[in-house]
Chain A
Amino acid sequence: MKQTAAAIAAIALIAASGTDSAVAGPTVETIQERGAVICGVNGNRAGFSALDSKGEWAGLDVDTCKAIAAAVLGDASKVQLVKTTSQTRFTALQTSEIDVLTRNVTWTLSRDAKLGIDFVAPTFYDGQGFMVHKDSGAQSIADLGGATVCVLPGSTSEKVTADVFKANGLDYTPVVIESKKELNTAFFGGRCDVHVQSTSGLSSARATVAANPDDYIILDGIFGKDPMGPVVRQGDAQWRDIVAWTVYAMMTAEELGVTSANVDEMKNSDDAETARLLGTAGELGETLGLDAEWAYRIISQVGNYGEVFDRNVGSGSPLNLSRGINALWTDGGLLYSPPFK
């Protein structure tokens, strides 16, 4: 018996030597102790999260993660990015493998209610679009009767295609192809007339895969709603607030004209909201459980939303997406941050 106990103790010791034990507690404490924010990302989505030629992470979702690290830890580089698949993404969050999921996950009621997770502050609004070759002569959905349509199996686009064609009383032949790469090859190779995907996916495919991007048009109209933003576990209100307000800080900074270039001058700004954002007035940071400079660090180290968008998916990137519905509400878009008061 004594020997058994000793053996168990030895095994436990060996196991413990290979473990990092952490004090249970609110997410922020765990993060501060660990010294890094762990974010789940897609990892295979150019412009949102992918490795660059040096093996470093880049993308809009990656920058959201970095912004959170800048706010909580004071250093945007203190992030660990974990690649998740659509099968592992929620489980990884539920099991605390990651602190926050910054990946393309569409916010839906059933996910929000069923999975024990909370969706906060969308960073990217997407929807499904229809792309055709210019020579097809199609000007709107109504012209697409009898078309062959390239779709990914089981995707939102497959559902949207069925709904849209049904609503318009039109027939179509689906061409179902498992991989996104193959799907693009098939469409640009002329195997199908219509390519249905998220509008961001369509624009990037057109910009990068098409031999001549000007030959293709995306028909007017966005179908389905795909709001995507960070997702956290339920039950840690402070952490949820920090993640949400990190996103809002980036949007508000753009609204107020604060950029990574001028953030130091803006600290002396007379504008009351700018002062509250940058922590020179009020105690907003302390209210969140952070320090006064949290938003200043986000903007100086990562940038405001507009900068992040342009750098990763917008005009400064090969994807060259237009802001569209992802513009600020003041420019007719959907980005609307609650006030910093």
Chain B
Amino acid sequence: MSASISFATPKSTPRRPPPALEAGVLLWLRRNLFSSAYNTVLTVLALWALFVTIPDFIVWAFIEAVWWTDDPQACRDASGACWAVVVEKHRVMLFGTFPYEEHWRGVIAIALIVGMAIASAFKRLWSYWLFVAWLGVTAAVLVLLLGGVFGLTPTGTHQWGGLPLTLLMFVGTVVGGMPLAVFLALGRRSRLPAIKAMCVGFIEIVRGVPLITVLFMASLMFPLFMPEGVTINKFLRAQIGMILFFAAYAAEIVRGGLQAIPRGQYEAADAIGLSYWQKTNRIILPQALRIVLPALMNDIIRAFKNTTFVSIIGLFDVLGATATALEDPLWVLFALEAYTFIFVLYFVFCFSMSKYSEHVERDLSKGRNL
């Protein structure tokens, strides 16, 4: 036998690189920016627009900008942005009418709320203790902002303002509104006619009026219906108004989730003899809330932005405080810079929330065939 001759190549041939146009940056460019004539035109136009605006923007925002001065004239003389207005006015923008010497309390309150919100984002920390921690933080924030104990100067709610007010109002709205929303949604699907009618009536009435009307009623009309001499704190009234408004909208979202659960789930729960609350808590709600999470987050972000409405009832949130800070005749010209700062502030909060929601969505979808 002669040695067997194999014509097969013993090793695979080295891989050849893909054609230049089908790999790496070029591929990405071709697929995403120049995939058709139409897209090519759009890309070129967009690039041209960026080319025209970006250099000017950089010159305005950074190179020619005035960062630090307490003399508005220096800002008028400069051709760039006047970020000094933010430096000059940041205390009033961030804390409104809260007493100047006590702003440190506001800083701690913000840190506590933001810190807790971040901590709550970690699934590892989700436990009974997180709930306890929230209660503790809420108490601490209220003590910090109200004062009057531990030697802190009393600061009434009428002095609250700026970012602590915005955050507190927001957290209060969501924390108070979510459970109410769930109850309203369940109530709307209840078989008990009285409960159903009440929930439908509430949701439809609140959804039928603008938030500004709800706040106006809460702050100005409500005292007329109270017995002589009894007044409920204005902040509390506004907060309750916001909670009711948020709950009415969120309830409809949750109802969407409830209706999306297949009938079989309800029937299966009934079949194994679960009570109404066991069925709701263990079978229905966890699934329903997971389904509606994106829509719910939408509403939560909107609730954050809705806090700016409190400005009409005389409380200074971040935006309201900025508007009044800019009335200062010396700095009135630099509204654009101050509002840019507020834009960045709101964006950071809202964008973090939306990113967090995406993360939770992905997390909850693990193990499901979606």
- Which residues of A line the B interface, CB within 8 A? 15-16, 18-24, 40, 43-47, 50-57, 80-85, 87-88, 91-92, 95-97, 181, 204, 207-209, 317-319
Contacts and interface: CB of A to CB of B under 8 A. Distances in A.
B170 interface: no
B142 to A, nearest CB: 12
A301 B99 CA distance: 20
B233 A19 contact: yes
A92 B329 contact: no
B327 interface: yes
Contact of A51 (B223, B233, B234, B324): B324
Identify the 3 closest CB pairs spanning chains A and B, nearest first: A208-B329, A55-B92, A83-B314
30 contacts: A18-B232, A19-B230, A24-B229, A40-B314, A43-B314, A44-B323, A50-B328, A53-B91, A53-B325, A54-B100, A55-B92, A55-B98, A55-B321, A56-B97, A56-B100, A80-B156, A81-B97, A82-B158, A83-B311, A83-B315, A84-B314, A87-B312, A88-B219, A88-B314, A91-B220, A92-B220, A95-B220, A181-B332, A208-B332, A209-B333
A318 B92 CA distance: 19
Chain A CB count within 10 A is highest, among B96, B232, B314, for B314
B97 A57 contact: yes
B216 interface: yes
A46 B332 contact: yes
A138 B321 CA distance: 40
B224 interface: yes
Contact of A318 (B89, B96, B98, B329): B329
Contacts of B99: 55
Contacts of A82: 158, 314
Nearest to A38: B158
Contacts of B95: 55
Nearest to B100: A54
Contacts of A318: 329-330
Contacts of B323: 44
A98 to B, nearest CB: 9
Interface residues of B, number: 46
Given A51-B92, A53-B89, A82-B158, A44 B327 contact: yes
What does DSSP make chain B's interface, helix, strand, loop or mixed? helix
B245 interface: no
B116 interface: no
B337 interface: no
B100 A51 contact: no
Interface in B152-180: 156, 158, 161-162
A47 B330 CA distance: 11
Contact of A96 (B219, B223, B233): B223
B92 A52 contact: yes
Contact of B335 (A56, A96, A181): A181
Contact of B328 (A52, A83, A85): A52
B340 to A, nearest CB: 15
Interface string B207-227: 000000000100111011000
B166 to A, nearest CB: 15
Contact of A55 (B156, B161, B312): B161
B32 to A, nearest CB: 39
A185 B88 CA distance: 22
Contacts of B228: 24
Contact of A19 (B232, B328, B329): B232
A54 B96 CA distance: 8
Contacts of A21: 229-231
Contacts of B91: 53-55
A40 B219 CA distance: 14
Among B91, B95, B221, chain A packs the most CB atoms within 10 A around the CB of B91
Interface string B294-325: 00000000000000000111111000110111
Contacts of A53: 88-89, 91-92, 325, 328
B49 to A, nearest CB: 24
B324 A50 contact: yes
Contacts of A47: 329
B205 interface: no
Contacts of B313: 88
A55 B159 CA distance: 10
Nearest to A50: B327
A85 B329 CA distance: 20
Nearest to A48: B327
A179 B121 CA distance: 41
Nearest to A80: B158
B227 to A, nearest CB: 9
Nearest to A57: B97
B107 interface: no
B103 to A, nearest CB: 8
A83 B328 CA distance: 16
A155 B137 CA distance: 47
Nearest to A188: B333
B158 A97 contact: no
